[in-house]
Chain A
């Protein structure tokens, strides 16, 4: 079955460490996105990529980095420069649907700094 997979589901990080969150899709979608969600709040865009080897900063890119070496994969690295990384991270891929687009989500990664 086609879908979008995030791993791990739960991740614990020590302060000062970089961690990488995985996002893989086999839907053949060109566009992929990373969002952050804090408790009781909405989704905020971190980075997005429309094509391989290209990506754009979203609204809260500071302290994060991404790569898009393959169409299927869009990993997100949370660096030590991100001062408050504890949050729920969602990856999405986007498909054109009629005149618009539909976003498909992974199940999310819950990152906790310990």
Chain B
């Protein structure tokens, strides 16, 4: 089983729609969680951190469910500029802190 799993998509949604992505992780000792956005042929950039209490930033909401070992990202009122690949990132504790990326979920917002 992969350490971090995401549905690769693509998710094709109309402008203004609400879309949600999930990401599951296998290591119950995982320490911190993030969502990154990657545009085509560019490096990933941090979108937001994910906390157990939930984290909201404008149209974006991230949630963590430790019991079920998944994180989610909700995008409301989708814009064309939201089209990108969204990467789930999990860091694990231990002697060496390892940063693991999911394979990403591709979102295409359609006019």
Contact = CB atoms under 8 A, between A and B. Distances in A.
B72 interface: no
Interface stretch (B14-22, B76-84, B95-103): B95-103
A85 interface: no
Contacts of B46: 102-103
Q: Size band of the A side of the interface?
A: 20 to 34
Q: Size band of the B side of the interface?
A: 20 to 34
Contact of A100 (B31, B45, B103): B31
A105 B37 CA distance: 12
Contact of B97 (A90, A94, A107): A94
A97 B98 CA distance: 15
B44 A101 contact: no
Contacts of B100: 45
A35 B101 contact: yes
Contacts of B101: 35, 42-43, 45
Interface of A: 31, 33, 35, 41-43, 45, 48, 50, 56, 88, 90, 92, 94, 97-103, 105-108, 110
